[in-house]
Amino acid sequence: MQALEDEAQARDTEHGFGLLLTTGVIQRGWLLAERGRRDEGLALMREGLAKHREIGGVVLVPPFLALVAEVNRELGRPAEGLSAVAEALMIARQCGQHYWEAELRRLAGVLTLQAQGISGRDADPTGEAESCFLLAIEIARRQRARWFELRAATSLSRLWAGQGNLKEAHALLSGVYAWFTEGWDTADLKEAKSLLDELETRTRRGRAASRLGRLPRRVTFEWSPGW
């Protein structure tokens, strides 16, 4: 991807494609973040977004802000991530760019849970996060965006599994996962398969423990010479 981005930058510069140059800056920032240079990458992404706005660009802004939110999550800055998500949703409403909304709703749920873990507040964030994941799934299904549905289903299934709802978690995720017929080496499908395997293992252990709990207690007698 870096090689393709370098080639694109050269052509954009040669022909003066200002809009594509600004998006290229954002994408190069994301590449830096993916390579572990997150602070540097995030700064470059914000620089690209600022230039994008200067020339009046709004196309692709919601997905780019989703990338900003994700990098903030990786940096442990959920408040900044949630701010980016809120901005992206506002722009989507204003411009009608709803094609990334399912992922933005999912990110809102993930960041909500992360924010709670960092702040240590007493309020339970799982209800709010669950609502975000359910809305993300609803939007993805309406748009027939199977990949976003898979991501949202994975996030919700993990939340349900943490609450002990293993059967519901497995049913939800397996139903979405079964739709796919290719792409097994991609990160999202690998993550979904790993979670499904974990849920099946925990379910089997639960059944085994339940069967053991129903076994009759062993009765022992102490021998006495008077018998």
Range of the domain at 36: 1-57
Q: Same domain, yes or no, for 44 and 70?
A: no
Q: Same domain, yes or no, for 63 and 18?
A: no
Q: Same domain, yes or no, for 50 and 72?
A: no
Q: What is the pLDDT of residues 6-20, one digit of tens each?
A: 999 899 999 989 888
Q: Same domain, yes or no, for 20 and 40?
A: yes
Q: What is the pLDDT of residues 177-219, one digit of tens each?
A: 999 999 999 999 999 999 999 999 999 887 776 666 665 555 4
Listed in sequence order, the residues at least 6 apart from 128 whose beta carbon sits closer than 8 Å to its beta carbon are 109, 112
Distance CA(91)–CA(159), nearest Å, equals 29
pLDDT score, position 210: 65
Q: Could you give the percent of the chain with pLDDT greater than 70?
A: 88
Flag whether 34 is in a domain. yes
Q: Given a cut of 50, is residue 227 above it in pLDDT?
A: no
Angle at 61 between CA 55 and CA 62, to 5 degrees: 160
Q: CB count, 10 Å around CB of 210? A: 9
Q: Residue 224 carries which DSSP code?
A: -
pTM confidence score:
0.86
Q: Same domain, yes or no, for 150 and 164?
A: yes
pLDDT band at 82 (very low <50, low <70, confident <90, very high): very high
Distance CA(63)–CA(50), nearest Å, equals 15
Q: Same domain, yes or no, for 70 and 49?
A: no
Q: What is the pLDDT of residues 114-137, one digit of tens each?
A: 998 865 554 566 899 999 999 999
Flag whether 181 is in a domain. yes
Tokens of 193: 């398969």
What is the arithmetic mean of pLDDT over 71-93? Answer: 97
Question: What is the total count of domains within the chain?
Answer: 3
Flag whether 38 is in a domain. yes
Task: Please report, for residues 38, 96, 120, 170, the alpha-carbon distance to residue 116 in angstroms, rounded to integers and kept in the order given.
Answer: 22, 31, 6, 25
Flag whether 138 is in a domain. yes
Question: What is the signed CA dihedral for 14, 15, 21, 24, rounded to 10 degrees?
Answer: -70
Q: Do the Cβ atoms of 145 and 122 come closer than 8 Å? A: no
Flag whether 77 is in a domain. yes
